[in-house]
Structure 1
Amino acid sequence: PLNAFGCVVPPRSERPVLAISYTSLKFPNRAPDGRVMVRVFLGGALRPELAELPDESLHEIVREQLRELLGYAGEPEMTRVVRWPSAMPQYHIGHVARLSRINGLLDEQPGLALAGNAYEGVGIPQCVRSGRQAAKRLVDASG
């Protein structure tokens, strides 16, 4: 049985899988009792060619990875491929310095705020914090 919300696969493993999210454990009622819904994230910036593969090839890669990583031996009852090319921002060398310059420019425009995963983190907590900081900045600027 799964007893976590998912796992992240380190890039050094050289696997096509980036992460696995146990969606039905994170969000109740996403799968019938006795069933599990998982989302498997493949490719990313290190393996963009995977997004070009046909659905059936991706299904086979996912089945193989679930067997190897989780010991899952069954066949899925349902599968669906959704492609999100360039969905996650890639922070390049110099990102922190670029943010510092952007924040300096924002200081000159008090009614302008930026928020989202492109700035200080792609996780939900970072995005929520980013939104709250932007909202506070705008409220403070409005007096």
Structure 2
Amino acid sequence: MSSWNHSGGPAEILLIEDNPGDVRLTREAFKEGQIENTLHVAKDGVEALDFLFKRGEYADAPCPDIILLDLNLPGKNGDEVLEEIRDDPHLSRIPVIVLTSSEAESDIVKSYELRANAYLTKPVNPVEFIETIQSFKSFWLSIVRLPPCDNQ
């Protein structure tokens, strides 16, 4: 199974996640899913925004086709990152999927108020975590048509 983005190439995915174990499991799930993609990782909200706004070492960073965002991040938290993405006319159309351990109704409501495209709770069980990521991939990278990037 292969993925496509607006340019016909592998999907560019930005994972914003500070937990190395979750990053490893996500990479494993993408590898097992055989969906062509390039996974970029930002370990906190500040690094993610530098990547998205092409600042500093990220001057040549690609515009992601989709963003996986943890809420519990050091520095700028996920809500702050999501708010900045949605406030920028060049980034606002990128689908943002919240992928977090929080099951709090207030976090779910706030994420959707900030215009997250989906909210997924990370399972604690590694096998279930991988299954969740693979379900995400099957839908968002195989079925959904992603918008072209407008990050100039």
Q: TM exceeds 0.5?
A: no
* TM-score, structure 1 as length reference: 0.29
Q: Which has the higher strand share?
A: 2
* TM-score, structure 2 as length reference: 0.28
- Where relative contact order (Cα < 8 A, 6+ residues apart) is larger, the structure is 2
